[in-house]
A and B are shown apart, each in its own frame.
Chain A
Amino acid sequence: MASSSPAENGATTRPWRLAHENPFSWETLPYVCELFVHLVSLELRLLHKRSKLGMIWTLVNPIVQLLIFTLILGRVLAVEVRPYPVFLCCGLLCWNAFSESLTMAADSIVNARNVLYQPGFRPFMMPMVVVTMGMIHFVLSCSILAALLAYYRVPLGWPVVALPLLLAIQGLLTLALAFPLAALSVSFHDTKHLLSVALRFLFFLTPILYATDTFPPVFHLFYAANPLTHLVHGYRAILMDRAWPDWFALSGVAGASLLALIFGYRFFESRRFRFIEDVE
């Protein structure tokens, strides 16, 4: 047997720790990573188990959205952007990843109620797993975008290498909001409903279906306050204009997200011990 018994390990020679604390140590890092990877792969497998088509379903929703919006806005309202499907797709995929991650995050702790009793489980992993899933869906649904780019013969340029960085910033932003949402929805049952209302507003307040450049400058200030604007603009700049994204704005988004993540995580951890009491 490769693993030694506790007596040989000599638990009594180890340092004391408080029962409710899981102090971070480099020793446990590989274990935490393994657990995280396993939880993500579990979610992916469950996606397959629930339906035979599995991943395909993640593509159906954006395709339907694309068709509807292209027909209505591209043809009927004739939005002045060419090619409109590509323009739309950039915004829509980015938005879907953001909103789906947050919707799932609001349920993440409640859904994990059965695992909360396992001493090795670290609740902070659930929002992280959910956001990772959202980003994986994002990358998968980019196949639609790739197909559209090929169909409209949009050439790609060097700025494409910046895409992973944009994805990372978006993940950071989503995670920063996912932590407080997950914690709040344990104590407040309508968090999810309020979130969906808020997301509906935000969808139209973000330049997903339209471009902002025709707007008077007063509005620009308003759009600049929305971090998603910069992300959507970034994706479009890279894929449609073969230009580098606005690094100044994006570093602002990244900085704000990081700050929000620290506060969001601390808020989540401060409510961690309520989860078992409050989850129903």
Chain B
Amino acid sequence: MNAVVRVDNLGKRFRRYPAPRARSIKEALLIGWRQTEPTDYFWVFRDVSFEVPPGEMLGIIGRNGAGKSTLLSLTAGLLQADEGSIRLRGHVSALLDLGRSLHPLLTGRENIRTSCLLNGMTNRQVDERVDRIIEFAEIGEFLDAPVRTYSSGMKARLGFAVAIHSDPDILLIDEFLFVGDQFFQSKCIERIRSLMQSGTAVLLSSHIAAKISDHCDRALWLGKAGVRALGRPDEVLAQYRADAEVEAPRLSPS
């Protein structure tokens, strides 16, 4: 198949540490080196397999703690899989930390270059695109002010503008897609659509069903320990909602 993301039997587990976990060398020496090692593991998910062809947007839905962010982090190469594999083709750009990586003391303009380089652009590409990024981010007169004076919305717009202009083959978006006002949101979606038309595959994670059904070509429901459903968004979301209704009474205090 002509995919750019191929996930095979993916499993990720996190370490669970002994209750008094040694977080300093002193403690490690006093209570023993063993306290620095995890005692057991818990699996976030196992046996996750799917492929994403170019130009497709795959929505990942699931409750909090289902591993949506973990799956994106694994795809971005920030974490290492414990089972199976994620294989990629091409350049990855991720919106996992909107605006967090900006340096508060540097100006918007300086931060744009840093973020661009960290997103895999070369200096030459930055020079070509910097004007478009500035225009897209709508920073205006604050461009040469230090980022610590920015509002959180401005930081998010800046982060978004950079990621979206790095011409990724694979774009990872974690919930945050819907930052800023309505106008900025629709502009982002428009830009993502045009990227998809030129072949970018998008992985979007959200716990809001409406976002998935509006924009995605396929949906993946990530539930306890793995994939619950994968297919057309309306079908997957119907199952997801039905499950939520079953779960809801159990969770309510009455």
Contact = CB atoms under 8 A, between A and B. Distances in A.
A118 B118 contact: yes
A34 interface: yes
Nearest to B119: A120
Residue from B106, B113, B199 with most neighbouring chain A CB atoms (10 Å): B199
Contacts of A38: 113-114, 117, 123
A220 interface: no
A214 interface: no
Residue from A5, A19, A31 with most neighbouring chain B CB atoms (10 Å): A19
B6 interface: yes
Nearest to B92: A119
Contacts of A118: 94, 97, 101, 115, 118-119
Given A34-B117, A277-B15, A3 B92 contact: no
A11 interface: yes
Given A189-B23, A190-B25, A6 B54 contact: yes
B120 A16 contact: no
B105 A20 contact: no
B110 interface: yes
Given A19-B75, A45-B110, A119-B120, A5 B199 contact: yes
Interface in A3-22: 3, 5-9, 11-12, 14-22
Interface of B: 2-4, 6, 14-15, 22-26, 28, 36, 54-55, 73-81, 85-94, 96-97, 100-103, 105-106, 110, 113-115, 117-120, 122-123, 125, 128-129, 167-170, 172, 195, 198-200
Contacts of A187: 23, 36
A188 B101 contact: no
Contact of A2 (B78, B128, B172): B128
B120 A14 contact: no
Given A16-B89, A31-B122, A119-B120, A188 B167 contact: no
Contact of B87 (A3, A7, A17, A120): A17
B85 A45 contact: no
